[in-house]
Amino acid sequence: MDDCLFCKIVSKEIPSTPVYEDERLYAFLDINPVNPGHVLITPKRHSTNLMDAPEEDVGSIIKLAKKIAQALTKGGAAGINLEMNNGSVAGQVIPHTHLHVVPRTVDDGLKHWPGKEYAPGEAETVAERIRQDLG
């Protein structure tokens, strides 16, 4: 993709701070980290997000996330958040698949997203819809 920022980072046309690279993946520091050590894992082959990414890329991303999470923990992180924003409504700004690996520290002030409640019977309706759409 000629016009994709992360494709340009993968091809080294735009500089980044890498932490890992193999034939399928490139992992580098987020330029505006939630905490120092915040890593983005991206497939070298362009896809937009989780919904169109090849399964092999998704599997490799998750395996690498575990390794990077272990490394960050070794380096002092007290916990790790994985976040993947898929679609602009979900907060995706860069339309090239990537997974955020965010090291957490005690009292870093980050909050979890707020939870809603289901109306009576709603959860079963929603679950049935998902089961049907899963095919």
Chain residues in the site for Zn ion (CB under 5 A): 1, 4, 6-7, 46, 96
Query: Is 46 considered catalytic here?
Result: no
Distance between CA atoms of 63 and 23, rounded to whole angstroms? 14
Residues within window 34-73 making contact with ligand AMP, judged by CB under 6 A:
40
Exposed/middle/buried for 58, CB within 10 Å: 0-12, 13-18, 19+? Answer: middle
Contacts of 86 (CB under 8 A, 6+ apart): 49, 50, 51, 92
Shorter beta-carbon distance to ligand AMP: residue 3 or 117: 3
Binding residues for ligand AMP, rule CB under 6 A, total 11
Active site amino acids? 98
Q: Rule CB under 6 A: which residues touch ligand AMP?
A: 5, 16, 30-32, 40, 85, 91-94
